Structure 1
Amino acid sequence: MRTLVIGSGGREHALARALARDPGSPEVHAAPGNPGIAGVATLHDVDPMSGEEVAALATRLGADLVVVGPEAPLVAGVADAVRAAGIACFGPSAEAARLEGSKAFAKEVMAAAGVPTAQAHVCRTPEEAATALDAFGPPYVVKDDGLAAGKGVVVTDDRQAALDHAAACDRVVVEEFLDGPEVSLFALSDGTTVRPLLPAQDFKRIDDGDRGPNTGGMGAYTPLPWAPPGLVEEVLDTVLQPTVDELARRGTPFQGLLYAGLALTSRGTRVIEFNARFGDPETQPLLALLDSPLGPLLHAAATGGLGDVEPPRWKDGAAVAVVLSSRGYPASSSSGDRIVGTETLLADPVVHVVHASTGRDGDGHLVTAGGRVLAVVAVGADVADARAKAYEGVAAISFPGAHHRTDIARRAAHEELPR
């Protein structure tokens, strides 16, 4: 299979790496890619936001499958352009991708499908936001209605901070606070059939103990030793399948990756949000544990044949990913800082490095090129083992201003329920 992966971050590196491991000498291309992806795929200089350019490249390559990684190209309709060119594409249409592109639209779909979620108000003015905040009380939850790279949500006891966030957005969704631990559950969908993956958990805050501002994610692990029995089946029956069925009913079938962000509350499982693509950094440990060839699964989802292929198989054990970010992240980021140590892990059989925001300087040295720079991913016999190996890998890498959390999967390693 000849596959073209669209994007340049850690998610796309993990996808390209998994596709390149498929049997049968697969041919993997990526656009625009990054230095890590260059190790497993042929790179092409294409604007990932241009459906016309992506479709033209896929046609020129004779691609059997295009995999659109990031949310922004999906919301912009890149998958539609690829399908219009007659090429299979893993990624929802622009209309179906509104599940992520608009929190208000997602709430509308959930209501129609009977999906359990937080009560919410869509607010367009500061006055509406203030009224909604007072109706729910603290902790206040305010979400930018549009795309915000995982950083558009404020959860705070400070009413003024909640109002300030609302004022900075065109439209917001103000929700009731959901207690309990959070879980990410991804599922492949061909518009009719839904195949869930393993549940995972990520860590959004920049600092240990879930302190500091939200980021795109500072680490993740899978599976969840503390997850209640039957969680995946419950979410498939009450969340994932009803949502896919509702979109099909509307004439906008969802073909791609449906990501449900969940809260396991004292009143039952509730949906926090939907995403329309693989999550970053949860994808990194998930794909490290995947035992099935990835390409046939994605192609089946893209072509309506997911019910005809074997469901995903998984290796025994667990996987943990720890993200290293650059100086100043998430308020800012530092680029051009030289990275050393990644080469020491190239031959490690259980630890690997995923590139998220890296580049090359004029001398060809690997350097930082954004906020979340790298993720170190390790597979182990259990969460504790994988965690120890991941942090050994982190210790081998350095660059000026490097920052990482030291508590990724720590509670799970001790089989404790996360707060």
Structure 2
Amino acid sequence: MSQWQQPGDRRTRGRVLRWNLAGWILFGLLPQAVAVLDASPARRYWLLGLLVLIALCHTVVVNRPDNPLLRHGTYLHLLALVLGSTAYLMDGGAAFYVVSLPQFWLFTRAPRDAITLSGAAAALTVFGGTLHQGWSPQFLTGNVISTVVACVAGAGLGLWVHHFVVRSNERQEQLTAALALTQKELAAAYQQQGAAQERERLAREIHDTLAQGFASIVVLAEAARAAAVNDPVRCAEQLTSIEQTARENLAEARVLVGSAPESGVAAGSLAITLRRTLDRFAQDTGLTVTAELPDVDLDQRTRVALLRCTQESLANVRKHSGASTVGVVLTELAGGVELEITDDGCGFVVEDSRGYGLDGMRRRLAELDGELSVISSLGDGTRVLASLPTHSQDRA
């Protein structure tokens, strides 16, 4: 197949060849077959035999592009001989040559081969007609000039089409290379973005779980050491809390490295998990904790988000507020749920807060289309309100 056709898909090339075959039969073979019907029997049989032979060869070439007839231009050499023979038998074959001319460009690999073979076919067409008719002025005017003009025009048009197709192929290759490069860069960007998001997720999970647990262990260890002499019972309670917190941290660490299923909130009621967390907090800190925790049916991601917000808020109360009382209220709304955590501590200026905890809570809630509202001022305590829409799907 010619070089300028290779980039096209097989179906397009097949359609082009089949249309060319149909046109060649309709305007090339049939007129020749009809014209020879009035000739002598010998001439008629020879010409019909040649037409049938070249038609069969052409059909095989079109349907089987890997056929040996295409190798080394075998089919085109045969076509050139048939054109010369037809010109001899029909006293001229310019019209048949013109209709057959596209094949020299369709079935060659390079323009040079197409020009050479089409020129040879033109020479054989002229020679065949001349051999039978001689160099009469009428023949020169009709057959020779038509054949030569068709050969020259075909070469020019073929070169132009070849140049156009080559440029199109080069452009297509450039676009393909650019697309491959863009896809590679996009894949790298997605990979980097995914890695950054995963780092952010791990940092948030570590802050909300392991870091808070280790901070609790430090505080409990300091309190246990202080109570070791004067209050052995209290010291034992704090050591038990340290052990329990360490076990919980170990379980969370296994979740983070993927060696255990997601934990933190058991399947079922969020209220039970929050009560357990608040009881531990009250036991470890000695603060008064009030809670209104109705049994709200929530999906797993919402339960995890609300638990993490509670843990972060309680950690802030322990580390920064100096509060004596903490209140937690869980409220089910139409299409949503709210978790309110308040304390009577020293408060702070929200705009001046630069901690990771509040930003982490906001991002965690935003991933679930929720919001975090923090209201506080110096000396007036703090109110944290987490709002989330409820999702009926994926309940766990």
Higher RCO (C-alpha under 8 Å, 6+ residues apart): 1
When the two structures are superposed, what TM-score results if normalisation uses the length of structure 1? 0.22
Relative to its length, the structure with more helix (as a share) is 2
The structure with the largest alpha-carbon Rg is: 2
When the two structures are superposed, what TM-score results if normalisation uses the length of structure 2? 0.23
